[in-house]
Structure 1
Amino acid sequence: MLEQEFFQHLTDGVVIMDKQRIIQEMNPAAVRLTGWHIGDQAPYCTFCQKRDIQSGEQRCLLMGHNPPPYFESEMPTMYGETIPVSFSTTDLSGAPDEEGKTVLMLRDLSQKKKEDEIRMAKLLARQTIEAQETERKRIALELHDGVGQSLFSVSMALQVLASQTEPSTASFITGTLPVLQDAMQEVKRLSADLRPPALDMLGLNAALTSLIRRIEQHFPLTVTLHSNVDSDTRFTPQLELNVYRIIQEALHNIAKHAHSPEAVVEVVYDLEANMLTVTITDHGTGFDTEMVHRKGGLGLRHMTERTLLLDGTIRVLSVPDGGTTIHISIPCDNKETLYADN
């Protein structure tokens, strides 16, 4: 009685079949998993269906000589689909009516497969973003140390040349210097956008302050920052960089597309909950969020990817002519985000 109750309540599927693979008995978990019935012939898994066998060899890998203790494949079901499962078998022995019967154990791997796919997607996203950031850092250094220094050298040379030449030529040279200065400032801005030096040295708040200053210099947009993250509060480089990029992307979208005169950025670290929340709000033209999702807007997609990379959540609230609010919550209790002088 106890054995039968145990058999009925096992979460793994149990199928008892004879030498011809005719099902003699099944537990409820096996019925739910496969949809098979007692009296059916158990199908072979997709691996065994396709594998090459020798004359006289069993088609089922687990019922041949020296079978593995278990293996993973996909099993056809009565629902017209195949499901990922792990298999193991054992031969029944003892009572005469058990001779020649085999117990097939089935464990559903669907959830594990989904988790593996999510894990691989996050790993791919992380590696892609890390490669992008590495390349951005390299280009930023090239701009600063290469192009920037070259432009500075040219500027100095022109100033020396202007002091040693005739007035008309000197006036022409001097007139080109502001253009050169603008180019130097643009290189400096591009370098900072690619890899903000303040982020590594001073932290998230200082980097955001610098970002807002650059945006206000180049766009007709006033940005107000409210933050309780002080200079002594540091998170992992992974979190700080991705949160910075999310806010940078959001503010650039507002500046270029929202037609909003102002935006508000709120960054709040809840020490008790160990949670970082970011809210970016504008009062611009807004947009249809469903349409943007369908079209696969790159800006929103990149923000979402970076948020999910940190196990966070993102909500975008927007309506045409009603402004936009982006709300992000990121837990700071895992190795990807916690770096504590809090």
Structure 2
Amino acid sequence: MLVKLNRLEEGTPALQVALRESEKIGSSQMEIKSLIPLLRLFDLRELRDSVFYYINKAEKILPALPLSSTEVLGYYEVKGQLMEKYGRYKESLEAFEIIEKHRGQSLQSPIDRLYYHLGLNYHGLNKDERAYEYMKEAYLAKDSLFAQEVQKQMSDLTVKYKTKEKEWEIEQLKRTQAEQYASMVQKIAWLVVALLIVTSICLVLLYKKRAAQKELDLRLARQYIDGLESERKRLAKELHDGVCNDLLGIEMYMQRSPNVEDTNLQTIFSLLEQARVDVRFISHELMPPSLQYANLDMMLSDYTERIEKIHGIHTQYFSSPLDMNWYQIPHQKAYELYRIVQEAITNAMLHGGAGAIKVSLAVDEDDFLSLSVQADGQKPKEETNKTEGIGLRTIADRVKCLDGICTFNYEDLGTILTVKLKV
């Protein structure tokens, strides 16, 4: 490899190492194999003394090997070429004549080249008659080899032609199969596209149907809530302007009685006053809250305090974060959330027998609002489900109008309503 790369000085030590290793193991065959390239290398480096030194070394090894061995004939072939190059025709002729005797063996040079070298050596020894004979043999052998080569090339071309023909047939078959496969893939692709189009159309129609249904549900929920609020407003006005005033009139009329100091009348006066206060509270609860000068946080705080004061139920209210600007919640959302808390607390008091209520309002970093109403007490009984269901439906419809999510959980410790929506 180093010789092929023209790194001759590096190749010499490597071959010398190989030669020494061959000597160590006592392999004459390996020694000759190492000497042959070493002779060529020294010749390329123009170190003739080294060439002759290793030729003498090889001559001492040759008797240990059969004359007809490939290594010996290879050595004589190299020696003959080198001696011919150096003008030592006699030694070169002797080497090539040994090869001629054993030309049935595997040789590196073809027979015409062998005759050619013999002719050159005879010419160098001034034996032109023999030189002519060998040169003639060389040309005849070359023509014979050329004919054989031509025949071989024709055979190779015929094989290649038939192979190409077969390959062409195979290629045609493959092309046909590829076209059929491409056609099938194209049909499948069109089928897939058609299915995707049909699926897309179905999905669009389904989406539109669901959107229309959602819009209808929202419209119905809004109508229900609007109707409920209108009825609340009407009832609040009737209670305030009618029942409250009637109770006040009865109280004033009875105060004109001559027996006004009677204990029974005083008891009736107290009951009428309490009834009037209760009716006023109910009237105010039914009226829509005013959010013009107050925010949701303030309204819920005030409402829970009134619940505890009037009904004697322990009520807690928490809001977070502390630095939250509650005015940024739109009035309509704040109004609906206030009504949801009202409805949830009313349900807890009427149907759950609640003794303690906790209301919490929070807004996280992503502007998601979370409202929860937790009340102790019992799960509503079967006979109260119908009336309680109206309140739950009202809560659900209000949350739907807010595009939020609500959940009801009945646990051992009571009932928890949770509402979540985007502010």
What interval of TM-score do these two structures reach, taking the shorter chain for normalisation? Answer: 0.5 to 0.7
1:293-316 residue CA offsets vs partner (Å, 9 max, x unmatched): 9x9933333222211210111233
Task: Note the residue ranges of structure 1 that are not aligned, 5 or more in a row.
Answer: 10-25, 36-83, 86-105, 333-342
Cα deviation, residue 253, structure 1: 2.3
> CA–CA distance in 1 between the matches of 2:187 and 2:230?
55
Partner residue in 1 for 2:69: none
When the two structures are superposed, what TM-score results if normalisation uses the length of structure 1?
Answer: 0.56
Q: Does 1:330 align with 2:421?
A: yes
Question: What code does the residue aligned with 1:120 have?
Answer: L
Cα deviation, residue 8, structure 1: 8.8
1:280 is matched with which residue: 373, 382, 401?
373
Q: Residues 134 and 201 of structure 1: is their aligned pair in 2 closer, same or farther, counting only changes over 3 Å?
A: farther
When the two structures are superposed, what TM-score results if normalisation uses the length of structure 2?
Answer: 0.47
Q: Residues 285 and 331 of structure 1: is their aligned pair in 2 closer, same or farther, counting only changes over 3 Å?
A: same
**Aligned Cα root-mean-square deviation (Å):** 4.0
> CA–CA distance in 2 between the matches of 1:113 and 1:330?
24
Partner residue in 2 for 1:140: 236
Partners of 2:296 and 2:326 within 8 A in 1: no
> CA–CA distance in 1 between the matches of 2:372 and 2:205?
39
Partners of 1:204 and 1:240 within 8 A in 2: yes
What is the aligned-residue identity percentage? 27
Question: What code does the residue aligned with 2:368 have?
Answer: M
Partners of 2:297 and 2:326 within 8 A in 1: no
Q: Residues 301 and 139 of structure 1: is their aligned pair in 2 closer, same or farther, counting only changes over 3 Å?
A: closer
1:313 is matched with which residue: 384, 405, 408?
405
Partner residue in 1 for 2:20: none
**Superposition pairs for residues 298-309 of structure 1, below 5 Å?**
298-309=390-401
> CA–CA distance in 2 between the matches of 1:266 and 1:197?
19
Partners of 1:202 and 1:231 within 8 A in 2: no
2:318 is matched with which residue: 201, 210, 226?
226
Partners of 1:220 and 1:255 within 8 A in 2: no
**Superposition pairs for residues 240-255 of structure 1, below 5 Å?**
240-255=334-349
Structure (1/2) with the larger helix percentage: 2
Cα deviation, residue 194, structure 1: 1.0
Helix, strand or coil for the counterpart of 1:267? Answer: strand
Partners of 2:225 and 2:397 within 8 A in 1: no
**Superposition pairs for residues 259-278 of structure 1, below 5 Å?**
259-270=353-364, 272-278=365-371
- Using CA pairs below 8 Å that are at least 6 residues apart, which structure has the higher relative contact order? 1
Q: Residues 297 and 231 of structure 1: is their aligned pair in 2 closer, same or farther, counting only changes over 3 Å?
A: same
Aligned residues: 235
Partner residue in 2 for 1:194: 286
> CA–CA distance in 2 between the matches of 1:318 and 1:197?
29
**Bigger CA drift: 301-310 or 221-230?**
221-230
Question: What code does the residue aligned with 1:205 have?
Answer: D
Cα deviation, residue 215, structure 1: 3.1
**Superposition pairs for residues 1-342 of structure 1, below 5 Å?**
27-31=191-195, 108-159=204-255, 161-162=256-257, 166=258, 168=259, 171=262, 173-197=265-289, 199=291, 201-217=293-309, 219=311, 221-228=313-320, 233=327, 235-270=329-364, 272-286=365-379, 297-319=389-411, 321-332=412-423
> CA–CA distance in 2 between the matches of 1:306 and 1:211?
19
Task: Note the residue ranges of structure 2 that are not aligned, 5 or more in a row.
Answer: 1-184
Partners of 2:359 and 2:374 within 8 A in 1: yes
Partners of 1:199 and 1:206 within 8 A in 2: no
Structure (1/2) with the larger strand percentage: 1
Q: Residues 30 and 249 of structure 1: is their aligned pair in 2 closer, same or farther, counting only changes over 3 Å?
A: same
1:30-62 residue CA offsets vs partner (Å, 9 max, x unmatched): 446769xxxxxxxxxxxxxxxxxxxxxxxxxxx
Q: Residues 109 and 258 of structure 1: is their aligned pair in 2 closer, same or farther, counting only changes over 3 Å?
A: same
Helix, strand or coil for the counterpart of 1:244? Answer: helix
Helix, strand or coil for the counterpart of 1:328? Answer: strand
Helix, strand or coil for the counterpart of 2:327? Answer: coil
> CA–CA distance in 1 between the matches of 2:399 and 2:186?
44
Cα deviation, residue 140, structure 1: 1.0
Partners of 1:312 and 1:329 within 8 A in 2: yes
Q: Residues 254 and 175 of structure 1: is their aligned pair in 2 closer, same or farther, counting only changes over 3 Å?
A: closer
Cα deviation, residue 183, structure 1: 2.0
Q: Which has more radius of gyration?
A: 2
Question: What code does the residue aligned with 1:285 have?
Answer: Q
1:97-155 residue CA offsets vs partner (Å, 9 max, x unmatched): xxxxxxxxx98512111111111110111122012112211221222233323433443
**Bigger CA drift: 223-232 or 276-285?**
223-232
1:59-82 residue CA offsets vs partner (Å, 9 max, x unmatched): xxxxxxxxxxxxxxxxxxxxxxxx
**Bigger CA drift: 219-228 or 177-186?**
219-228
